[in-house]
C-alpha cells in the first residue's frame, strides 16, 4: 500500500500529480507517500502512562487532533491526513474504527458513506470490496485522491510515529478491535475511548493494560470512576464542562488521572470562538488549569497557542521527536 523509502513513484502517480499542478491547485501528496512526510513523532516506547507523566513533569499539554485533523484537501480519518497533521504540529491522532459487513475494520466515523466519501449506503451493510476503492472527501466536500484505510494499516503506519486514540463505532466489535491491536503489538501506543463507565469496564476486561478515555464531567462522576477496578493511572478523564474545568481538572490530577478537555464541536465551542477571534489564549488558559490533553478540531492553531504560552511539546523530551 505504501511506497518504500527510495522507491520511485509510478508513472500514473506522477502524471496525476502533474495534472493537478497544471490546474494551479495545490495537491496533497499521493497515498503511497504518507510514510515519507517529515514531521513530529510520538514514541512512548512501551510506557504510555509514563509518557504522560513525563509530559506533566515538563509542563506540556498535548493536543488531540479530532478525526485526525482534517483540512482543505485532507479528509477525516485518512492516514495521509494524520501525516499532514504531524507535519505541522505535535499531536495525538484521534480516529474512528468501523467494521464492514464481511468483518473488515477500517477508519470511518459515520454510519453512512455519503458525507465523507463518494459512495452511498450504510457502512455496516457493505463489504470491504464495496468500500475500499471509494474516494474520501475533505471538509468542504471536495473529492480527494485518498481512499478509506484499513485499521491494521493505520496501526502499522503509526508505529514509531503516532499515538492513536481510538473511538470504536457501533458497527465494530470491541473484541475484534482489541485483537487487531494485540496482533499489531500496538497496545502500548493506543488509547481506547469509552463512551460510558460500562463501556470502560468492558474494554478493561478485554485490554487490562490499555489506557482508556472516559467521560467525566463532574466530581460525582469522578467518584464513580474511582470506584471502578480500572487504575486511575490508566484513565484519561475527558471533560467538556468549561465552568467546572479548573476545579474538576485539579481533582482529577490529584487522583492520578490524565486529564483531557474538549474544545471541539458545537456552535459555542472554544474552537469556534478562537477561530472567530483569531486568538488562541483560551487554549493556554485551559492548559494552565490542568489539562494534559486538549481535544480539538484546530490542532495546528491550538498547538501553536500552547507553544507560545510555553506549554508546547519539545523535540527530545518524553519520547517526542521531529524529523
Q: Confirm if 292 and 61 have CB atoms less than 8 A apart.
A: yes
- CATH number, domain of 143, equals 3.20.20.190
Residue 85 shares a structural domain with residue 156: yes
Residues 281-310 have pLDDT tens digits of 889 988 988 899 999 999 999 999 999 999
If one counts the domains in the chain, the total is: 2
Residue 32 shares a structural domain with residue 180: no
The pLDDT assigned to 204 comes to: 93
DSSP 220-259: HHHHHHHTSSS-GGGEEEEE--TTTHHHHHHHHHHTT-EE
pLDDT band at 273 (very low <50, low <70, confident <90, very high): confident
Residue 86 shares a structural domain with residue 26: no
Could you identify the residue written with the cell 509530559?
A: 55
Residue 117 shares a structural domain with residue 181: yes
pTM of the model: 0.88
Residue 244 shares a structural domain with residue 290: yes
Residue 32 shares a structural domain with residue 129: no
Residues 58-76 have pLDDT tens digits of 999 999 999 999 999 999 9
Can you give the residue range of the structural domain that contains 269? Answer: 37-322
DSSP 156-219: HHHTTT-PEEEEE-TTS-HHHHHHHHHHTT-GGGEEEE-SSHHHHHHHHHH-TTSEEEEE--SH
CA–CA distance, 118 with 97 (Å, rounded to integer) = 19
CA–CA distance, 193 with 172 (Å, rounded to integer) = 13
Residue 127 shares a structural domain with residue 211: yes
Sign of CA dihedral 197, 198, 201, 202: negative
**What nine digits make up the cell of 171?**
458497527
Amino acid at each position: 500500500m505504501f511506497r518504500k523509502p527510495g522507491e520511485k513513484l509510478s508513472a500514473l502517480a506522477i502524471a496525476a500529480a502533474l495534472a493537478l499542478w497544471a490546474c494551479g491547485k495545490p495537491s496533497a501528496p499521493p497515498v503511497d507517500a504518507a510514510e515519507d512526510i517529515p514531521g513530529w513523532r510520538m514514541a512512548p516506547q512501551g510506557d504510555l502512562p509514563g509518557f504522560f507523566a513525563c509530559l506533566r513533569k515538563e509542563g506540556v499539554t498535548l493536543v488531540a487532533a479530532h478525526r485526525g485533523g482534517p483540512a482543505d484537501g485532507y479528509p477525516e480519518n485518512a492516514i495521509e491526513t494524520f501525516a499532514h497533521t504531524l507535519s505541522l504540529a505535535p499531536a495525538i491522532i484521534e480516529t474512528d474504527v468501523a467494521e464492514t459487513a464481511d468483518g473488515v475494520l477500517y477508519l470511518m466515523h459515520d454510519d453512512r458513506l455519503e458525507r465523507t466519501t463518494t459512495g452511498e449506503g450504510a457502512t455496516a451493510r457493505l463489504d470491504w470490496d464495496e468500500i475500499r476503492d471509494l474516494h474520501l472527501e475533505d471538509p468542504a466536500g471536495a473529492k480527494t485522491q485518498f481512499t478509506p484505510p484499513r485499521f491494521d494499516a493505520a496501526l502499522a503506519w503509526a508505529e514509531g510515529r503516532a499515538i492513536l486514540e481510538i473511538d470504536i463505532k457501533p458497527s465494530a466489535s470491541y473484541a475484534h478491535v482489541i485483537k487487531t491491536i494485540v496482533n499489531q503489538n500496538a497496545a502500548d501506543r493506543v488509547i481506547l475511548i469509552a463512551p460510558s463507565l460500562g463501556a470502560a469496564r468492558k474494554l478493561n476486561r478485554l485490554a487490562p493494560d490499555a489506557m482508556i478515555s472516559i467521560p467525566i464531567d463532574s466530581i460525582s462522576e469522578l467518584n464513580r470512576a474511582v470506584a471502578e477496578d480500572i487504575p486511575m493511572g490508566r484513565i484519561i478523564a475527558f471533560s467538556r464542562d468549561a465552568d467546572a474545568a479548573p476545579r474538576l481538572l485539579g481533582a482529577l490530577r490529584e487522583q492520578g488521572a490524565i486529564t483531557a478537555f474538549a474544545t471541539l464541536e458545537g456552535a459555542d465551542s472554544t474552537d469556534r470562538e478562537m477561530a472567530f477571534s483569531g486568538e488562541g489564549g483560551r487554549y493556554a488558559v485551559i492548559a494552565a488549569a490542568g489539562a494534559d490533553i486538549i481535544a480539538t478540531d484546530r490542532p495546528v492553531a491550538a498547538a501553536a497557542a500552547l507553544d507560545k504560552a510555553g506549554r508546547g511539546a519539545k523535540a527530545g523530551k518524553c519520547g517526542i521527536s521531529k524529523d
